[in-house]
Amino acid sequence: SRVKKIIDVESNIKVKESKGYEFWAKKHNLKVMADSVLFLREQGIKSIAQLDVLIQEQADSRQELQEKIKSIDDKSVQLSTVMEHAHTIKQFKEIYIYHKKNPNDKQFENEYSREITLYKVAATELLKTYKKLPDTKEILTELDSLQEKKNTLMKEYSESKTNMDDLFIIRKNFEQYMGKEMER
């Protein structure tokens, strides 16, 4: 954050104990306010009302980014589950095929009942979405793509947070520095 906070000269203990610190704090506050005004001008903001609008827009934008990130996370979880089911089917396919060809082999069925059940569950789940076994390479490619999108959105989200923090500090600086004048 390039924006600093105003020092409350009315209630700061150091200010009350030291005239030198009081002088420094007042000078610091003037510089902080000048930097705050400059920052606002760079953003094209000329009033507190405009600042409040920008803060709300930033908050809405961050919320949107959060929702996009959540959506990507949900899709990634779904695709990871598909990958697990595809892996289970590939892993136990031979066992299941043998079981289907030899339905009367009760010893085999008892010995491999866990694998047969896992295969059936995985196949049932995949058939809800896919007509045939999905290509795991395509799914991995899609997962990589989703991760790249998420990384980009996370970077935007982080930058947005820094910007929001700056705007909140500036808003608070104006409240502290200008006091009740802002309310009029």
Could you write out the DSSP letters of every residue in 33-95?
Answer: HHHHHHHHHHTT--SHHHHHHHHHHHHHHHHHHHHHHHHHHHHHHHHHHHHHHHHHHHHHHHH
Distances (CA, A) of 47 to 40, 43, 52, 174: 9, 11, 9, 11
Is residue 136, in this structure, part of any structural domain at all?
A: yes
Domain tally, the chain = 1
Is residue 104, in this structure, part of any structural domain at all?
A: yes
Nearest to 143 by CA among 77, 69, 48, 71: 77
Is residue 7, in this structure, part of any structural domain at all?
A: no
Is residue 125, in this structure, part of any structural domain at all?
A: yes
Is residue 4, in this structure, part of any structural domain at all?
A: no
Mean pLDDT by runs of 10 across the 184 residues of the chain is 81 89 91 88 89 94 97 97 96 96 94 96 93 92 97 96 91 78 42
Output the six-digit token pair for 117: 């059940």
**What is the span of the domain harbouring residue 21?**
13-179
pLDDT at 27: 93
Is residue 8, in this structure, part of any structural domain at all?
A: no
CA–CA separation, 181 vs 184, rounded Å?
6
pLDDT at 181: 43
Is residue 100, in this structure, part of any structural domain at all?
A: yes
Is residue 130, in this structure, part of any structural domain at all?
A: yes
pLDDT at 180: 40
Q: At what angle do helices 136-178 and 19-42 cross, to 10 degrees?
A: 130
